[in-house]
Amino acid sequence: MEKIVFLDRATLEANVRRPDFPHHWQEYAATAPDEVVGRLEGATIAITNKVQLRAATLAQLPHLRLIAEAATGVNNLDVDWCREHGIAIVNIRNYAIHTVPEHVFMMILALRRNLLAYRGDLQRGLWQQADQFCLFTHPLHDIHGSTLGIVGHGALGKAVAVMARAFGMTVLFAEHKGATVIRAGFVSFEQALEQCDVLTLHVPLTDVTRNLIGAAELGRMKPSALLINAARGGVVDEAALVEALREGRIAGAGFDVLSAEPPCAGNPLLELDLPNLIVTPHVAWASREAMQILADQLIDNIEAFVRGESQNRVA
């Protein structure tokens, strides 16, 4: 009988059905690093969203056959070690193709229309003191007719492109940074930076993408451009972004992710009090509808593994 342990059930606000095969199910709202080995003792299937499972931990779990990632990103897992030692990994795919693009455009619209700045003006009574029917304290820009640069050509990048075109935007997919060959339908990474009015990131965090956007890349962008990150915090050099925002070298930024989460030790982006910076607490993925899709796919993946099928396998 399979022993299934969900290490951080509280990260998923959805109904998680039980698998259709004989099993023992155990779940914990959250699991601290020093609790992982004890809680997974004898487990054959581990479910994790953000709890890290590295080689030193995995080596102490001889019964483990499957890690079911309750998310798309697997940077919390030692994938190479699992491959070498026969532990399968499955992840969640394409569940957020509506919720993430909607969150991205929420931030784009709020920034292009200076929503937070106008809200602040109203709170300070500026409209009440105006000498005409409207208040022109901040510039307003349409997104229709503007250019969206997208870094990442996966399901989310493509879904954002569909929404952008519906808004009347021109879409540029950026080729890999440093690529010598530009694929059909793409523009060079540098061209995307230089031509976009909004740059949105939809790539995983890897050694290649860490600090993909730094001071040099921000310097290539238009002073009127926005940077949106609903991917992973480490993809952007946050200190460089803070400097660019303070100096007005880009027009604004919308971030749903930070380099360390939760930001217990602080973060330079959280120290900025600017109306052209929006930071949300890693919730772009988390509509109730999307979380239920995720929960259903999580169990589908586990059931497929037990049947001997390869579904959404990472390793």
Q: Which two tokens stand for residue 135?
A: 């208040």
Choice among 84, 261, 289, 309 that is catalytic: 261
Q: Cis omega (within 30 of 0) on the bond before 262?
A: yes
Map residue 302 onto helix, strand or coil.
helix
Choice among 93, 282, 303, 313 that is catalytic: 282
Q: Is 176 a catalytic residue?
A: no
Q: How far apart are CA 5 and CA 212, in angstroms?
A: 35
- Count the helix, strand and coil residues of the chain and give each as a percent rounded to the nearest 5: 30, 15, 50
Please tell me the number of Cα atoms within 13 Å of 309 on its side-chain side.
Answer: 8
Q: Is 35 a catalytic residue?
A: no
Q: Is 124 a catalytic residue?
A: no
DSSP-derived secondary structure letter, 125: T
The β-bridge partners of 47 are 6, 68
Choice among 9, 112, 153, 232 that is catalytic: 232
Cα–Cα distance list, 269 to 113, 278, 280, 301 (Å): 21, 9, 11, 37
Catalytic residue IDs = 232, 261, 282
